[in-house]
Amino acid sequence: MSAARPTSVPLLRLTPLALARPGRARRLVERNLVVYRRGWTYVVSGFFEPFLYLLSIGVGLGHLVGSQRVGGHPVGYAAFVAPGLLASSAMNGGILDTTYGLFFKLKYAHTYEAVLSTPLTSADVAVGEVASAFLRGSVYSAAFLAVMAGLGLVGSPWALCCLPIAALVGLAFASLGLAVTAHLRSWQDVDMVALAVLPMFLFSATFYPLSIYPGAVGWLVRVTPLYQGVVLLRAFDLGAVTPGLWWHAAYLVVLAGVSLSVAAGRLRRLLVP
């Protein structure tokens, strides 16, 4: 009698994150925090770009630009720009570690060969790296929100929700960055990530309302990940909260989940013989 053929695909192939354990992934987060202590200038650098944009464009240029309308109410230009730059700050924190830093560890430092000699799995690596980037994005977001409050750019009690929303933006970009970087082969490929991030930063309705974009460009802006965060943070910061905002939050949640799953599967193929 011939052996019975398996009737199901192994669970791990269907769910690459099945072997991830928070307790083990936390060890990788702790390792990254120790590294951050020695390279703190690298860590804080990603915060200053949106901060300087806020001072130069939001506050400086804001004196020359008329008010914008959000939720039917006029707001100053600095108050309009600030929530978009908060989303950009969260994006920077989420994506920096899972692109340049992760590519170096994966292709040159061979950090994960040592990591996988411990009880950690490739799924733990994926979760740990995303968690580290998520923490960095959350720190950036909290610092930027404090700056906004100090400049009087927090316009509603709903702004209390901005920190968890910004953390969600950071999580989505951390997961997306890991999924993309795991498929890259050279530093030139990594530079292409920066080439994609820059126009998204400039054209995700951060500096201008969506209505000024031509039809096709406007629809392209609508599907970018950063735009979802800009819409959410601007609405909550300025008190223009509507039921339709759930779609933007769902977009970011799905993006984070799918990207993390793809990244875990790819890392398993790269790291596990």
pLDDT of residue 194: 81
Q: Which residues pair with 74 in a beta bridge?
A: 69
pLDDT of residue 16: 63
CA-to-CA distance for 57 and 194, rounded, in angstroms? 22
Global confidence as pTM? 0.86
What tens digit of pLDDT does each residue of 11-62 get? 444 466 655 677 788 888 888 888 777 666 656 666 677 777 787 777 776 6
pLDDT of residue 11: 43
Q: Which residues pair with 70 in a beta bridge?
A: 73
Domain boundaries, the chain: 20-271
Asked if the model's pLDDT at residue 266 lies above 80, the reply is yes
Asked if the model's pLDDT at residue 199 lies above 50, the reply is yes
Residue with the bigger pLDDT between 23 and 261: it is 261
Asked if the model's pLDDT at residue 8 lies above 60, the reply is no
Asked if the model's pLDDT at residue 152 lies above 90, the reply is no
Query: Distance of alpha carbon 96 from its chain centroid, rounded?
Result: 9
Residue with the bigger pLDDT between 112 and 47: it is 112
Asked if the model's pLDDT at residue 96 lies above 90, the reply is no
Which residues lie below 8 Å from residue 256, measured CB to CB, with a gap of 6+?
A: 168, 171, 172, 174, 175, 176
